[in-house]
């Protein structure tokens, strides 16, 4: 630009090129038909497990409710002593009767989880195969703190809750009653690398996320 200001002829040449270009009609491009963004998923359950592994999540497959209770018992037994917070749902009450093993239990109907809770056990709304995400809501599970207060979050789910992608998950979220204060997607344990680019697990929520999927 400094050269153009010193040479009026150069400036006029540039402007003439701009005027000439503006007179030309832009060539229309053929519209591109929309198509799938990602390759099709042959086995949603296997894809979900693979994505979970990449997201630092644990998955456990069980064939029936008895095996689910046994899996829940094993996870709880691996935790330090302390209170367990559970979503007050008939399915979880049945599982807890077999898996709690004398631990102190607080149900979501009694209030929010205590800061000393060792784990939260909750249900979910859906599982997203392509991203390894868990769709949760605050309906009956004790509010937003249910999924962030305890260092371990255990999700009890069913294979029929698997959806393919985020679009399907958001459609499922739209069907949830609007009186819920919170609907969110959890994709792995809490982590950050903001400080010196060092990965820290459990930065602002659970360090451990376990999904028990009953087939």
Over residues 105-124, the mean pLDDT reads 89
Q: Which of 67-71, 154-158, 194-198 has the lowest mean pLDDT?
A: 194-198
Question: Per the domain annotation, does 60 fall within a domain?
Answer: yes
pLDDT value, residue 140 = 61
* Whole-angstrom distance, CA of residue 123 vs CA of residue 211: 10
- Provide the pLDDT confidence category of residue 4 given band limits of 50, 70 and 90: very low
pLDDT band at 6 (very low <50, low <70, confident <90, very high): low
Distance of CA 182 to the CA centre of its chain: 13
In the chain, how many domains are there?
1
Helices (H), the chain: 2-6, 8-23, 44-54, 65-77, 90-99, 166-174
In a domain, 107, yes or no: yes
Sheet strand arrangement including 152-158: 58-62, 208-214, 152-158, 119-122, 84-86, 105-107
What whole-number distance in Å separates Cα of residue 85 and Cα of residue 192? Answer: 25
| Residues of the chain above pLDDT 90, percent | 42
Owning domain of residue 54: 44-214
138 is a domain residue: yes
**pTM of the model as a whole:** 0.77
> Average of pLDDT values for 95-116?
86
HSE of 87 in the Cβ direction (CA atoms, 13 Å)? 24
Using CA atoms, how far residue 62 sits from 70, 80, 138, 147, 215, in Å, is 9, 24, 25, 23, 6
Dihedral angle, C-alpha 91, 95, 97, 98, nearest 10 °: 160
- 19 in a domain, yes or no? no
Residues β-bridged to residue 163: 128
Q: Is residue 30 part of a domain?
A: no
CATH of the domain at 71: 3.40.50.10420
CA angle 140, 143, 148 (to 5 degrees): 125
């Amino acid at each position: 630009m400094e050269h153009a200001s010193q040479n009026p002829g150069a400036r006029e040449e540039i402007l003439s090129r701009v005027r000439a270009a503006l007179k030309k009609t832009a060539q229309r491009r053929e519209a591109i038909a929309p198509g799938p963004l990602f390759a099709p998923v042959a086995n949603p359950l296997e894809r979900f497990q693979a994505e979970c592994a990449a997201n630092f999540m644990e998955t456990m497959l069980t064939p029936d409710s008895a095996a689910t209770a046994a899996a829940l018992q094993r996870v709880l037994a691996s935790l330090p002593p302390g209170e367990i917070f559970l979503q007050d749902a008939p399915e979880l009450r049945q599982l807890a009767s077999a898996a709690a093993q004398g631990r102190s239990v607080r149900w979501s109907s009694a209030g929010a989880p205590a800061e000393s809770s060792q784990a939260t056990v909750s249900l979910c709304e859906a599982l997203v195969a392509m991203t390894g995400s868990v769709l949760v809501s605050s309906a009956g599970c004790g509010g937003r703190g249910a999924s962030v207060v305890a260092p371990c979050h255990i999700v009890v789910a069913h294979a029929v809750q698997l959806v393919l992608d985020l679009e399907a998950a958001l459609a499922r979220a739209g069907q949830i009653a609007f009186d819920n204060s919170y609907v969110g997607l959890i994709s792995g344990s809490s982590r950050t690398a903001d400080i010196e680019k060092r990965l820290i697990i459990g930065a602002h929520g659970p360090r451990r996320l376990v999904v028990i999927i009953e087939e």
